[in-house]
Amino acid sequence: MGRLVIEGGRRIDGEFALQGAKNAVLPILAATVLNGGKNIVYNCPELSDVSSTIEVLENLGCKVVRHQNILEVDSSDMNSHTIPERLMRKMRSSIIFLGAIIARCKKACVSMPGGCEIGQRPIDLHLKALRALGIEITESHGYINCVADKITGADIHLDFPSVGATENIMLAACTADGITTIENAAREPEIMDLQNFLNRMGARISGGGGSVIRIEGVKKLSGVEHTIMPDRIVAGTYLAAAAATKGQIILNGADCTHMSAILNLLSDMGCRIYREEARVILTANRRLLAAATVKTMPYPGFPTDIQSPFMALAAIADGTTIFIENIFENRYQHVDELVRMGADIRLDGRCAVVVGAERLTGANVVAKELRGGAALVVAGLAADGITTIENTKYIDRGYERIEDYLALSGAKITRKE
Ligand code: UD1
């Protein structure tokens, strides 16, 4: 199992191009099965979650060729409608293949995603919505079986703006008979990227990025080329790394319009932010100020995915910050590890009270999930002495060669296998 070793206390000062967004590339790769054609997807980050998605595609009979950050997916010879347990367990978000497979094959069989490290993550909203489209769903022996003679457009109201459920409905409905509307749809920018990809294929979808999405079913979709949007969560993490070390960072390709909640908070904490077209610059030259309260919310609220890296900032800021995690009930697993590094954090259910310390100290810590692992990297960069982070496999799910980008920006960080 790999680990990262960080000699903390060095100022981050760097400039690089931002990787493509994990949460956009995964549903877009799932969408390639819809058209039975050749697709070229640019700016695919090198992540283990992308490798897992490629494994799912290959298991379905698609041909996938990778040239660095370009993926060619040919779904013309797709010959399976099943995702086995082994692959579903690797990556829960494979559930977004369900809508795409049922639309293409009129049947789908995927293993139940099972429990996950950041919370229960039920899929009831996905299944209820797919049933509304006329898909018959049965659950047995740990598998979800779907069949549909015909998928029919419907008016769907989501009780919660679930990202995955919104994507599954878009995928299932784009070749349905008639019109589907999704009310209370997720508004995350990655939904817009999926809409753009599907429309380029020939789908007729409007409203992505807003609360009501309209999908007019079409008969045929064709192969396309598409460039994945920049990763706003990875951007937030590198901005946090610079802020934690009183440093500076320039992120090329960043879309500031997707990051208002993150950038406003950094600004409130005393960082200087320069929002430019297709890049963001942060400079921090003094101790951070605590933000009063950080509440995670669906987009455009503060993203749950960046809560943990920002808790590492709060741990060294001047004053007290209260975090309220409203999206995933078990997203505080980094807290014990930050406390090992000298952070003063008290947990009470979904609420964490963080009293900023003058400094953190390096320690041996363990990443327990993706973003919590990133929080430990941010903390390690700022801490005095050496921090060793075990379980880099979690970080590698969402951050492309994190140690290379940080080392190029002045950090002393190495990976040990
Ligand atoms: C996606 C992102 C993840 C991000 C999350 C919230 C991807 C691959 N992952 O995950 O990084 O943290 O959005 O922004 O894009 N829920 C239900 N029933 C359902 C579905 C969801 O109760 O059927 C609940 C979940 O338990 C959670 C909330 O809704 O409390 C949000 O989940 P959702 O938006 O679906 O997250 P994901 O799509 O899994």
Q: What gap in Å lies between CA 91 and CA 164, rounded to an integer?
A: 13
Q: What gap in Å lies between CA 217 and CA 361, rounded to an integer?
A: 57
Write the pLDDT tens digit of every residue in 264-273.
999 999 999 9
Q: What gap in Å lies between CA 208 and CA 187, rounded to an integer?
A: 7
- Dihedral in degrees, nearest 10, Cα atoms 33, 97, 259, 271: -120
**CB distance 165 to ligand 1 below 6 Å:** yes
Residue 121 is predicted with a pLDDT of 76
The residue behind tokens 């049947």 is: 107
Residue 366 is predicted with a pLDDT of 97
**CB distance 274 to ligand 1 below 6 Å:** no
Indicate the fold that domain 22-217 takes in CATH: UDP-n-acetylglucosamine1-carboxyvinyl-transferase; Chain (3.65.10)
Q: Is the pLDDT of residue 115 over 70?
A: no
Q: Which residues are catalytic?
A: 116
Write the pLDDT tens digit of every residue in 207-229.
999 999 999 999 999 999 999 99
Residue 356 is predicted with a pLDDT of 98
**CB distance 369 to ligand 1 below 6 Å:** no
* Closest C-alpha to ligand 1, atom 20: 123
Note whether 254 and 280 are within 8 A (CB).
yes
**CB distance 307 to ligand 1 below 6 Å:** no
Q: Is the pLDDT of residue 119 over 70?
A: no
Write the pLDDT tens digit of every residue in 351-402.
999 999 999 999 999 999 999 999 999 999 999 999 999 999 999 999 999 9
Mutational pocket test of ligand 1: of 56, 137, 162, 307, the residue with most ligand atoms within 8 Å of the beta carbon: 162
45 CA from centroid of ligand 1 (Å): 21
Mutational pocket test of ligand 1: of 233, 327, 369, the residue with most ligand atoms within 8 Å of the beta carbon: 327
Q: Which atom of ligand 1 is nearest to the CA of 233?
A: 11
Which class is domain 3-19+230-416?
Answer: alpha beta
289, exposed or middle or buried, with CB in 10 Å at 0-12, 13-18, 19+?
A: middle
Write the pLDDT tens digit of every residue in 58-109.
999 999 999 999 999 999 999 999 998 999 888 888 999 999 999 999 999 9
Q: What gap in Å lies between CA 377 and CA 12, rounded to an integer?
A: 12
* Closest C-alpha to ligand 1, atom 32: 162
126 CA from centroid of ligand 1 (Å): 10
Q: What gap in Å lies between CA 290 and CA 295, rounded to an integer?
A: 14
CATH 3.65.10.10 residue window(s) in the chain: 3-19+230-416, 22-217
**CB distance 175 to ligand 1 below 6 Å:** no
Residue 114 is predicted with a pLDDT of 61
Residue 92 is predicted with a pLDDT of 84
**CB distance 228 to ligand 1 below 6 Å:** no
25 CA from centroid of ligand 1 (Å): 16
Note whether 144 and 112 are within 8 A (CB).
yes
Segment 177-192 shows an average pLDDT of 98
The model carries a pTM of 0.97
Percent of the chain with pLDDT strictly greater than 90: 93
93 CA from centroid of ligand 1 (Å): 9
Residues contacting 7, CB < 8 A, separation 6+: 362, 385, 386, 412, 413
**CB distance 305 to ligand 1 below 6 Å:** yes
**CB distance 159 to ligand 1 below 6 Å:** no
Q: Is the pLDDT of residue 23 over 60?
A: yes
Residue 329 is predicted with a pLDDT of 84
Residue 247 is predicted with a pLDDT of 98
Percent of the chain with pLDDT strictly greater than 70: 98
Residue 90 is predicted with a pLDDT of 86
Residue 116 is predicted with a pLDDT of 54
Mutational pocket test of ligand 1: of 93, 97, 121, 211, the residue with most ligand atoms within 8 Å of the beta carbon: 121
Note whether 343 and 365 are within 8 A (CB).
no
| CA nearest neighbour of 133 among 177, 101, 194, 163 | 177
Q: Is the pLDDT of residue 126 over 60?
A: yes
Mean pLDDT for the chain overall: 96
78 CA from centroid of ligand 1 (Å): 28
**CB distance 164 to ligand 1 below 6 Å:** yes
Residue 395 is predicted with a pLDDT of 96
